[in-house]
Amino acid sequence: MTAPLFLVDPGALDGLGPDDVVELTGAEAHHAATVVRLRAGEEVLVADRSGARVRSVADSVAPGLVALRVTGRADEPAPSLRLTLVQALAKDGRDEDAVEAVTELGVDGVLPWQADRSIVRWKGPKVDKGLRKWANVIERAAKQSRRGRWPDLGDLVTTPSLAQRCAQEGVTPFVLHEEATTPLATVELPAAGEILLVVGPEGGISPQEIDRLVEAGAVPVRLGSTVLRASSAGPAAVAAISTRTRWR
């Protein structure tokens, strides 16, 4: 079984090597001691969310303090080619399902999109509430998949601000669309920079949105002959790109 992963503050793992000690405190120590029931001698991964990660062995375990002896580094370097999912808000938690899956698959960034046809609307206090829910989904999925470098969660974007992002230098945007004729599996991919994968809501992306994004440089693509849900299109696209870039 893969060792569980626990978190420390950014910078806490800098410069640590074999036989150095890293400590878990607060909620992480309590979770390790009382929920995971960690025991002395068991292996543990420790990460800071920003790419630093170490392997370790538990020396002592208490609900308020867990002491871990480092056995080696397992850092996760920043990729030369970032992969970001732009996920339209969707009903019944399908957007959160997509965020969970792509986090486990290794995506580098997630952007919530208030699309024209999104039934779910984030307005006023719902914006912060929605972002907190997505952040919690990312945390659970990143821990589950033992990630040392967690995906960035961006602010809510509208179509105009998404178009601006698509037009930025170094960004290669693709829009998943059922009427597209170009397969995602065959498009030319950059060696560096950022790929944006744009996924619409249940009702699809409006013609006006497609036109706006294409004008900004986005390329409409399809995954296959079937129409996928909002919860599965993003993960499928991330997997398709990853097999050509980082899963080799």
Distance of alpha carbon 44 from the chain centroid: 22
pLDDT number for residue 1? 59
Could you say which of 2.160.10.10, 1.20.1250.20, 3.40.1280.10, 3.60.21.10 is the CATH number of the domain covering 81-245? 3.40.1280.10
d(CA 13, CA 54): 8
pLDDT number for residue 158? 96
> Under a CB-based contact definition with an 8 Å cutoff, are residues 197 and 83 in contact?
yes
Per-residue pLDDT of the chain (248 residues; tens, 9 = 90+): 589 999 999 999 999 999 999 999 999 999 999 999 999 999 999 999 999 999 999 999 999 999 999 999 999 999 999 999 999 999 999 999 999 999 999 999 999 999 999 999 999 999 999 999 999 999 999 999 999 999 999 999 999 999 999 999 999 999 999 889 999 999 999 999 999 999 999 888 999 999 999 999 999 999 988 888 889 999 999 999 999 999 98
Question: What is the enclosing helix (H) or strand (E) of 128?
Answer: helix 125-144
pLDDT number for residue 157? 97
Q: Alpha helix locations (H) across 11-82?
A: 26-30
- Can 5-73 and 81-245 be said to share one CATH topology? no
pLDDT number for residue 227? 83
Distance of alpha carbon 94 from the chain centroid: 15
Closest CA to 45 of 79, 10, 78, 75: 75
Give me the residue spans of the domains in the chain.
5-73, 81-245
201-227: buried (b, 16+ CB within 10 Å) or exposed (e) per residue?
A: bbebbeeebbebbbebebbbbbbeeee
The CATH architecture assigned to 5-73 reads Beta Barrel (2.40)
